């Protein structure tokens, strides 16, 4: 995120939380911790915070627990791959041959005797 995007983000915070500090020092602090973060993701997290938060968001809330989001995305992708594989296996599955169950039961009865 560049400095102009930080300003845009802080302006949006100020519009929703009038007492939010937009001093040059606070801009620098946000720049220090958000320079490596996507503006779009920060904006999305801010909008979610505005819908649910009573107080202005801190930097961690703007970042939105990126590690958790990435882990959740990996888990979703792994689950989708697993379900796709199950569906492919289901499409290839066939019923056992006729009489298979009876033959198996007969073998089981013979081994018990």
Mean of pLDDT values over 5-12: 95
CB-based burial, 63-89: b 16+ in 10 Å, e otherwise: bbeeeeeeeeeeeeeeeeeeeeeeeee
Domain enclosing residue 53, as ranges: 3-66
> What's residue 112's pLDDT?
62
pLDDT digits (tens, 9 = 90+) for 21-40: 999 999 999 999 999 988 99
Distance CA 31, CA 28 (A): 5
Confidence of residue 82 (pLDDT cuts 50, 70, 90): very high
Q: Sign of dihedral through CA atoms 26, 53, 9, 75?
A: positive
Is the residue at 55 inside a domain?
A: yes
Is the residue at 85 inside a domain?
A: no
Mean of pLDDT values over 92-105: 90
Assess whether pLDDT exceeds 80 at residue 2.
yes
Is the residue at 19 inside a domain?
A: yes
Is the residue at 10 inside a domain?
A: yes
Residue 22 maps to which CATH number? 1.10.8.200
Is the residue at 79 inside a domain?
A: no
Is the residue at 75 inside a domain?
A: no
């Amino acid at each position: 995120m560049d400095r102009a995007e930080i300003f845009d983000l802080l302006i949006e915070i100020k519009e929703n939380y009038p007492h939010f500090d937009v001093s040059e020092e606070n801009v620098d602090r946000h720049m220090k911790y958000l320079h490596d973060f996507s503006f779009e993701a920060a904006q999305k997290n801010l909008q979610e915070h505005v819908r649910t938060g009573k107080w202005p968001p801190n930097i961690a809330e703007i970042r939105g627990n990126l590690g958790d989001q990435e882990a959740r995305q990996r888990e979703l992708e792994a689950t989708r791959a697993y379900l796709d594989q199950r569906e492919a296996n289901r499409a290839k599955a066939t019923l056992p041959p006729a009489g298979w169950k009876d033959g198996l039961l007969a073998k089981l009865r013979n081994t018990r005797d």
